[in-house]
Structure 1
Amino acid sequence: MAGVTTAKKEHLSHEMGMHTEGLVGRTQQRFFDISEENVGYGYPDAPDVDFNKRAEIDCENLETRQINSQLRDLIRHGFGTIVLKNPGSKHSIAVGVLNRLNLYIEGSCGYFACGLTDGPNIRIKGRVGWACGENMLAGTIVIEKNAGSQFGAALRGGDLVCKGSVGARTGIDQKGGNIIIGGDTGSFSGFMMQRGRMVILGDAGKNLGDSMYDGTIYLGGEARSLGVDAVPGEMTDLDRQWLTRKLKMYDMYPKQGIGHIKKIVAGKQLWNYDNLEPGEKKLVL
């Protein structure tokens, strides 16, 4: 880690190198002036939509690009509730939706469904393939059945919910938001997790939370094994209250109750990994 120092600092952020590591590149910040009239709290070019204004798209004979193009056209015309019928497990459906929207997908989606979204509330009645909700910023996505691997990869915000089971590497590189799984998850879930929460009501595969830097994993079942630097944490009343509220929102509840859920956090032995001696690195790994 660049700029990490072993000297004692006043704030934890100094120890993490946040004040000494130079960041370069083009800024991704977007600025808003709330004093302007008719400005919302979304993107400056985001159209206003009416949730009572409803439309449907039959996707059966359409390619992915046509589906997404028609979806954006309807949003620009103010439709706030849109139904996609017969999606046919096509890939990359509803990617890059940066607007408030109620979107219902009546069927299953393929790879990369609903990625790069910021604001919509999406419900998928079928299954999804790999990397659903990748880089999601805000909003909700609820899948009624199962999901593939890399569910919620690099998630940044919002709630990503699968009421069934998911594949391996769930929440890889998660940076925020909440991932909630009603069933089981595969191996290396929570790999390199940086922030946010993951709730698994079933069992987890091997190496759960491997190399996680921060964040919290809640596990209702059993993990085949914990990964490097993932350790048990202490459940608090705040944890239980948050779980109760959040799971109630999606009509999900663990079979054995909240009291049986376990908490997994980062051991933080990898935070200053580059500064460790070779023998110490072997002990950590």
Structure 2
Amino acid sequence: MAALTRSAPSEQERLSYEMGLHNEQLKGRSIQKFFDINLDEAHHGFLLPDAFDVDFNKRAEIDASNMPAKEVNLRIRELMADGYGTIVIKNPGAKHSLAVGILNRLNLIIDGSLGYFGCGLIDGPNVRISGRVGWSCAENMMSGTILIEKNAGSQFGAAIRGGDLVCKGDVGSRTGIDMKGGNIIVGGNTGAFTGFMMQRGRMVICGNAGKNLGDSMYDGTIYIAGEPQSLGVDAVWGEVTDLDRKWLENKLRMYDVMPKGGIGAFRKIVAGKQLWNYDNLEPTEKKMVL
């Protein structure tokens, strides 16, 4: 039997791969709940099978001032079940774990600030937050968009897998820790260990970064317009291509977070790939890498 051969990638494919646009499947257990591809064309087949059919022109408000977080989250689900596609949360009061587990198309407007773990485990909604957010905002986000007008706490976008997560202000340390896909955009500065153990996706930092940027990153791309205090283990400078610049121009203008220096101010950080076989190294070799 003839051996299977694979043609060499084109220059466009190579540049796309370097930007983080990968098409191979990640290994591991399969997610058993898939999109329903049999839905009509109006829904484009990109909804979960039990998603609610909502109308963005149908609007409701929730006054969360005297409601616990669990009750607010249940009310969001009830309104989606009734077909409301635009929901405004008033007086969130920096409560923890608000607007979590939304697996649906939805325009969600949060008029105020969130506490810890806001908007976690979401898959599909478009969220706009007028205030600040605490630790671990958008943890395990799968798809959709989140736009935060002010600042964010540490572990912003932890383990994010898809969608656009945008903070116009500053964020804390460990932004994008264990990032597995999607895009994180920071309009200001970010703290230490940003991009720690990054596996996929793209991160854009319009300001400066703390120590150990991209530490132990396995793959993915970080763009920074300012200065990092230092690069982490196995994070190296890469070449910014025209494809990178076009993507940055589109994304940053979309969310109005262009830095003063423009697209030309950005530099690129990628994985040096010296840790890819880390577990196979001898103890003395590990010391040399670290």
What TM-score comes out, normalization by structure 1 length? 0.89
State the Cα distance separating 1:284 from its structure 2 match. 1.2
Correspondence list, 1:125-274, <5 A:
125-274=130-279
State the Cα distance separating 1:273 from its structure 2 match. 1.1
Q: Note if 1:47 corresponds to 2:52.
A: yes
State the Cα distance separating 1:280 from its structure 2 match. 2.5
**What are the superposed Cα offsets for residues 205-254 of structure 1, whole Å, 9 maximum, x if unpaired?**
00000000000000010000000000001000000000000111101101
**2:33 alignment partner, one of 27, 30, 33:** 30
**2:96 alignment partner, one of 88, 91, 94:** 91
State the Cα distance separating 1:37 from its structure 2 match. 6.0
Q: Note if 1:123 corresponds to 2:128.
A: yes
Over the aligned positions, Cα root-mean-square deviation in angstroms equals 2.1
**What are the superposed Cα offsets for residues 133-165 of structure 1, whole Å, 9 maximum, x if unpaired?**
000000000000000000000000000000000
DSSP 3-state at the match of 1:211: coil
- CA distance in 2 between partners of 1:89 and 1:239 (Å): 36
**What are the superposed Cα offsets for residues 255-282 of structure 1, whole Å, 9 maximum, x if unpaired?**
1111111100000000011222333222
Letter matched to residue 83 of structure 1: V
- CA distance in 2 between partners of 1:32 and 1:121 (Å): 18
Letter matched to residue 137 of structure 1: M
Q: Which runs of 4+ in 1 moved over 3 A?
A: 31-40
Q: Note if 1:111 corresponds to 2:116.
A: yes
CA 1:33–1:253 in 2, change beyond 3 Å: closer, same or farther?
A: closer
- CA distance in 2 between partners of 1:220 and 1:276 (Å): 35
Q: Any stretches of 5+ residues in structure 1 without a counterpart?
A: 1-8, 12-20
- CA distance in 2 between partners of 1:223 and 1:212 (Å): 15
- CA distance in 1 between partners of 2:219 and 2:55 (Å): 39
- CA distance in 2 between partners of 1:32 and 1:111 (Å): 29
DSSP 3-state at the match of 1:89: coil
CA 1:127–1:232 in 2, change beyond 3 Å: closer, same or farther?
A: same
- Alignment check: 8 A CA contact 2:167 2:185 kept: yes
State the Cα distance separating 1:35 from its structure 2 match. 4.3
DSSP 3-state at the match of 1:193: coil
- CA distance in 2 between partners of 1:36 and 1:90 (Å): 36
- CA distance in 2 between partners of 1:141 and 1:193 (Å): 20
State the Cα distance separating 1:100 from its structure 2 match. 0.2
CA 1:182–1:22 in 2, change beyond 3 Å: closer, same or farther?
A: closer
DSSP 3-state at the match of 2:57: strand
- CA distance in 2 between partners of 1:118 and 1:274 (Å): 33
CA 1:234–1:143 in 2, change beyond 3 Å: closer, same or farther?
A: same
**1:282 alignment partner, one of 278, 282, 287:** 287
DSSP 3-state at the match of 1:241: helix
- Alignment check: 8 A CA contact 2:117 2:138 kept: yes
How much identity, in percent, do the aligned residues show?
70
- CA distance in 2 between partners of 1:255 and 1:85 (Å): 33
Q: How many residues align?
A: 268
